[in-house]
Structure 1
Amino acid sequence: MNAPWKAGPMGNRDPFAAYICDETSLDVLRPVVIEMGWQPEKCNKGGLRNAVQSLSISASPAILLVDLSESGDPLNDINALAEVCEPGTVVIAIGQVNDVRLYRDLLASGIHDYLLKPLSAGQLRDALTQAQAVFTAPRAGEGEAAKPHVATAVVGTRGGVGASTIATSLAWLFATEHNSPTALLDLDIHFGTGALSLDLEPGRGLTDAIENPSRIDGLFIERAMIRANENLAILSAEAPINSPLMTDGAAFMQLQEEFRQAFEMSVIDMPRNMLINFPGLLAEIGVVALVTEMTLASARDTIRILSWLKQNAPGAQPLIIASKVQAGTAEISKADFEASIERKINYSIPFDQKAAANAAKLGKTFADANQGSKPGAVLREIASAIAGVSGDEDADLTKAGAGSSLLGKFDLKSLLGKKDKTSGGKETEPAE
């Protein structure tokens, strides 16, 4: 059964009740409850099963805090709770399991938030205040059409192919030329250039989100994101390089959920290692812009990432973008590259070093600083194609390049071994 809890008026119900397994957590909770103006007697000993038993014979409160620590099957038990909860109840779960899949599944079931033990007074205060805000400022009613949202991930097959340049340019184009409220998330936590390319300070927003995923909500997004212009907001970081990334990915999932509510477009600059560490990040992505170059290494990794996407993000549309293309200097011809990956290159962006330097000097995105250039024109075509998806659920960005190459399956291994012994081991340029 789907959880019945939806935002609604409190009515005459009790404003709050809690069912907590341990005394330590209860001791932290009670002073916060008193501070909120609620009755500390509503903080009951016992976890989720006790809550189900009690609520089966009594009215549900407006806000319910329930402990999953003693539950062997939290998701199944949450469904049992849904059977006895009245519509309108906002449920906050707490527990000891730090697992991003459980977090996502709980949110998908309708849970408002999930807090990890040991609890702190500040953590509880923030969570309960956010839950209370659901009633004072509810979201749009169910009868209203959902605001369309297109999420794009930009992934480079190799370092230095220009994925970050393309990500920031697409975000800028969505926001300015397509007039769409747009979020840019730079997931290169230590060395990201998203804010730098827009001549902005990254701030602590992304770092705070990673450290405190439970704080992420609409208000947090409004305060933490840095505004580049009226329609473009960015979330990035310059974390100390002696501080490793310590997260289970819950913050990134929650950020994506809030982006869907607050923006029409979102662009995620996603380093390759993020695919490996947090495969669930692409579960809700509509378009994956796979940025490559015409080299053997990029051909190999394009094949690998396309295969990964097929297994882990079957709902995302891959868009193959060849970057920094220079005529006559590629390791692999376009025809051989397309044959090796068994699909067409959707867009080719010409190499223009002067244009890139110009953007850096001006502190602008490449697309903004070089609006009359050939690379800028291609970026506009890409942005228009992706933005068009929001108005057409059946749009297929890769239709023109779908299917196998006319040359049939290309043997990349034979290409890797294809050397001209008379040229000192240098690779011969395949014919177009």
Structure 2
Amino acid sequence: MSASLKSGGNRDNFASFVCDEASLDVLRSVAVDMGWQPERCAKGGLRNAIQSLSVSASPNILLVDLSESGDPINDINALAEVCEPGTVVIAVGQVNDVRLYRDLLGSGIHDYLLKPLSPNVVRDTLVQAQAIFAAPRGHGHDAHVAKRHVSLAVVGTRGGAGASTLATSLAWMFSSDKSMPTALFDLDIHFGTGALALDLEPGRGLTDAIDNPSRIDGLFIERAMIRANENLAILSAEAPISA
């Protein structure tokens, strides 16, 4: 949104914006334990995070408080507009609702934690987020070597032909057996067969892309995809069948 004011490098490892002192104390303590700067844990909710990140570089890992948000999903989408690609976002809040949890994950959030925050839960979540942020990065000479990309389409001429099963199986084989970074694009928009076959919620990423094609960019795709394992991400949907 204000990309010209952002710094391209020297990203902080972690930053957080929370609404209450108790959560702030927990996060500062955990940040110190992990060797991060406790002053990057700030008082303030999601709006403060959006204002701050619109004029500064995003951290590797960002934790935001949804407690003061009247429309968490729209606010998270606004946050995505100012976050740099690759940022792992964790949300915290007071609402214990499985639908909200699924919608947040579908919007690209790594995890949603309930308040009051537990130091052990926060620490475990941050360790997982740190591993996710570091995993895609290359090392040494390999980081500069161009990788070959392969596109494979599986098409069925009628329902029940097995195209979804074959596509999902191939994606899993590439990602698990071959350790290849893999994206599964499931065009079965009404049933989300690919995601359901892997016991995942299809999310709303694909339907959002169809409804708002002007929003599609690298960051949108990254946040819309559901991760099945370390190497496999799925773009799927479970849209209602209209008359």
CA drift of 1:263 comes to: 10
SS of match in other structure, 2:200: helix
Alpha-carbon displacement from aligned partner over 1:95-132 (angstroms, at most 9, x marks no partner): 11111221111111111111111110111011101110
The structure 2 residue matched to 1:15, chosen from 13, 22, 43, is 13
Alignment match, 2:160: none
Task: Say whether 1:30 aligns with 2:28.
Answer: yes
Note closer, same or farther for the CA distance 1:181–1:135 as it changes in structure 2 (3 Å cut).
closer
Alpha-carbon displacement from aligned partner over 1:250-298 (angstroms, at most 9, x marks no partner): xx9x96268844799xxxxxxxxxxxxxxxxxx76xxxxxxxxxxxxxx
Task: Say whether 1:99 aligns with 2:97.
Answer: yes
Alignment match, 2:200: 256
The structure 2 residue matched to 1:88, chosen from 78, 86, 111, is 86
Alignment match, 2:65: 67
Alignment of 1:208-357 (within 5 A): 256=200, 260-261=228-229
CA drift of 1:73 comes to: 0.7
TM-score with structure 1 setting the length: 0.33
Alignment of 1:45-64 (within 5 A): 45-64=43-62
Task: Say whether 1:127 aligns with 2:125.
Answer: yes
Q: Number of paired residues?
A: 163
SS of match in other structure, 1:92: strand
Alpha-carbon displacement from aligned partner over 1:224-254 (angstroms, at most 9, x marks no partner): xxxxxxxxxxxxxxxxxxxxxxxxxxxx9x9
Q: Which runs of 5+ in 1 are unaligned?
A: 2-9, 149-173, 183-217, 219-251, 265-282, 285-311, 315-432
Equivalent-residue separation in structure 1 for 2:153 and 2:130 (angstroms): 24
Alpha-carbon displacement from aligned partner over 1:329-354 (angstroms, at most 9, x marks no partner): xxxxxxxxxxxxxxxxxxxxxxxxxx
Check conservation: 2:14, 2:61, Cα contact below 8 A: yes
SS of match in other structure, 2:58: coil
Equivalent-residue separation in structure 1 for 2:171 and 2:86 (angstroms): 32
Equivalent-residue separation in structure 2 for 1:122 and 1:39 (angstroms): 18
Alignment match, 2:207: none
Task: Say whether 1:111 aligns with 2:100.
Answer: no
Q: Which amino acid aligns with 1:62?
A: N
TM-score with structure 2 setting the length: 0.56
Q: Which amino acid aligns with 1:116?
A: L
Root-mean-square deviation (CA, aligned residues, Å) is 3.8
Note closer, same or farther for the CA distance 1:128–1:59 as it changes in structure 2 (3 Å cut).
same
Note closer, same or farther for the CA distance 1:41–1:262 as it changes in structure 2 (3 Å cut).
closer
Note closer, same or farther for the CA distance 1:57–1:137 as it changes in structure 2 (3 Å cut).
same
Alpha-carbon displacement from aligned partner over 1:40-79 (angstroms, at most 9, x marks no partner): 0000000000111111121111110000000001111112
Alignment match, 2:40: 42
CA drift of 1:313 comes to: 7.6
Q: Which amino acid aligns with 2:83?
A: C
Note closer, same or farther for the CA distance 1:66–1:147 as it changes in structure 2 (3 Å cut).
farther
Equivalent-residue separation in structure 2 for 1:59 and 1:126 (angstroms): 25
Q: Which amino acid aligns with 1:22?
A: D
Note closer, same or farther for the CA distance 1:263–1:20 as it changes in structure 2 (3 Å cut).
closer
Q: Which amino acid aligns with 1:37?
A: G
CA drift of 1:181 comes to: 6.9
Equivalent-residue separation in structure 2 for 1:147 and 1:126 (angstroms): 38
SS of match in other structure, 2:121: helix
Alignment match, 2:223: none
Equivalent-residue separation in structure 1 for 2:170 and 2:80 (angstroms): 41
Note closer, same or farther for the CA distance 1:263–1:48 as it changes in structure 2 (3 Å cut).
closer
Equivalent-residue separation in structure 1 for 2:89 and 2:67 (angstroms): 15
Equivalent-residue separation in structure 2 for 1:57 and 1:126 (angstroms): 30
SS of match in other structure, 1:64: strand
Equivalent-residue separation in structure 2 for 1:103 and 1:127 (angstroms): 15
Larger Rg: 1
